[in-house]
Amino acid sequence: MSPRSAVVRAKIDKWPAASSTASLLGCIGVCSYLIGLASPVSPGFDLPLVLLIVLATVAAVAGGRQRTPARSFMIVPVLAFAAARLASSLAAADAGRGLRVLAPLLPGLLLFFVLSEWVETRRHVVAICVSLTVAGLLLAATLLCAWWLSPNSDADVLASVTSNPMLTVKNDITAVAVLAPLALAAALVWPRRLIQATVAAFFAVMITVIAIMRSRSALLTLIVALVAFAVLGFGRRSTRIRWLLAMLAGLAVVAVAADALGGFRLAHKVATDWQGSGRVALWAAALAMFRDAPVLGHGPNTFVLHYRAYLDALQLPAWIHVDPRVTPWAHNLYLELLAEQGIVGLLAFVAVSVAALSMVARIRASRDSDLRCLGAAAGAAFIAYLMAAWLELSFIKAWVTVVFFTLLGLLTTLTRFAKGAGTCAAS
């Protein structure tokens, strides 16, 4: 064992080791759900969700006997956000349509409550970061295999023909880009060879898929995620920042090489298509929908029903490109919330986001370097998520809801660690 490994092992062993049954069960439930959701092979029923419900229930029963769960102020904006989505669904003309798209709220809320109340050790937090890395690797590898088997197919067609419900269009690789800081943090905090190899494979496959699929949204999200991680987590003299800069240089080489193999199609798309395949027209339609239903909106998952009529009524100038294909979401989460849930839905989302960013600041105040690294990773992933929301995200996609609540849960539990004994340095 190298000196570095010995030091890391000693630090890991000093982490809160009194992992209760509730914490262990909660960690297993979260990890199994995240990996199962990303698996390209799934049974006829939602086995990952069943496991999550069972393990979360057992964890709550076991934990309730041992202690009173820690409560966080984050519960209030999270429940307000869920209530706002439910209210806009019930107020819509077709309430059933909105309620169907709310299905991911159940696992999302379960993930949040398990993480925020029952996960008690940083060892388990690292395990969850590793599970997210594995999930991202599975998603990216699924797209890469689909391309390899059908190299002449359209990128969106490749995404839609996979059996994974998390993949519907090529830009769903953005979900993987959001997870990049968490993968790095796992490798930095617990640098075991298996973890490092998994993280290396994660980045190699993700960069290759981004270049092949020509996903500008995923590329920009990845850049923002890594830059935010560097800014939040490291000082200029940190040895970790040098390691990160070296890795970024390697990623740039891989990205250019992968794009070159495809004839530099990603570079050409970035330079020429500034409107983003009709996004400007979609944003105009979303704003018009908001003006007609400013309080609770038209209801979740109704953008696809109304946007074409609004586009026809707007009579946009000729220089604004209108995509003739049917587009189910607005490619801007904030405008989509305004259109589908009104000002109430947007304010609920903003309240949750502000609360999450305030937790990042609290975690950064800790004197524990590993805790700061994990907090910076979760914070950077959340910042990348908020950035991607300007271009691509939509709550009609299950992964958008799942990643949102998972990041909120991680930030909440890391804030609890930071509060413990002031800094967690003694834990």
Cβ–Cβ < 8 Å for 384, 177: yes
Q: What is the pLDDT of residue 368?
A: 85
427 falls within a domain: no
Q: What is the pLDDT of residue 118?
A: 86
52 falls within a domain: yes
Q: Would you give the distance in Å from CA 297 to the centre of its chain?
A: 25
Looking at per-residue pLDDT, the higher value among 20 and 202 belongs to: 202
412 falls within a domain: yes
Cβ–Cβ < 8 Å for 201, 139: no
Question: Rounded to whole angstroms, how far apart are CA atoms 13 and 16?
Answer: 8
425 falls within a domain: no
Q: What is the pLDDT of residue 374?
A: 93
Cβ–Cβ < 8 Å for 144, 111: no
Residue 270: pLDDT above 60? no
- Domain count along the chain: 1
- Which residue range is the domain that position 276 belongs to? 3-419
Mean of pLDDT values over 189-206: 91
Q: What is the pLDDT of residue 135?
A: 93
Q: What is the pLDDT of residue 258?
A: 56
Handedness of CA 30, 33, 38, 40 (dihedral sign): positive
Residues near 262 by beta carbon (within 8 Å), at least 6 away in sequence: 211, 212, 214
What percent of the chain has pLDDT above 70?
74
Cβ–Cβ < 8 Å for 89, 4: no
DSSP H or E segment with residue 135: helix 122-149
User: What is the tens place of the pLDDT at every residue in 25-83?
Assistant: 889 999 999 998 888 766 556 788 888 899 888 888 876 655 555 567 889 999 999 99
Helices (H) and strands (E) in the chain, counts: 19, 0
359 falls within a domain: yes
The gap between the terminal CA atoms of the chain, to the nearest Å, is 24
Looking at per-residue pLDDT, the higher value among 337 and 258 belongs to: 337
Mean of pLDDT values over 215-232: 87
Report the SS3 class of residue 174: helix
Residue 410: pLDDT above 70? yes
User: What is the tens place of the pLDDT at every residue in 331-368?
Assistant: 899 999 999 999 999 999 999 999 999 999 899 888 88
Looking at per-residue pLDDT, the higher value among 151 and 410 belongs to: 410
Residue 168: pLDDT above 90? no
User: What is the tens place of the pLDDT at every residue in 136-153?
Assistant: 999 888 888 877 776 555
107 falls within a domain: yes
Q: What is the pLDDT of residue 70?
A: 57
Q: What is the pLDDT of residue 181?
A: 94
Mean pLDDT of the chain: 79
Q: Where are the beta strands (DSSP E) in 205-254?
A: none
Q: What is the chain's length?
A: 427
Please name the residue that has the structure tokens 């530099």.
Answer: 264
351 falls within a domain: yes
Q: What is the pLDDT of residue 127?
A: 95
User: What is the tens place of the pLDDT at every residue in 313-324?
Assistant: 887 777 677 777
For 94, phi then psi, to 5°, come to: -110, 85
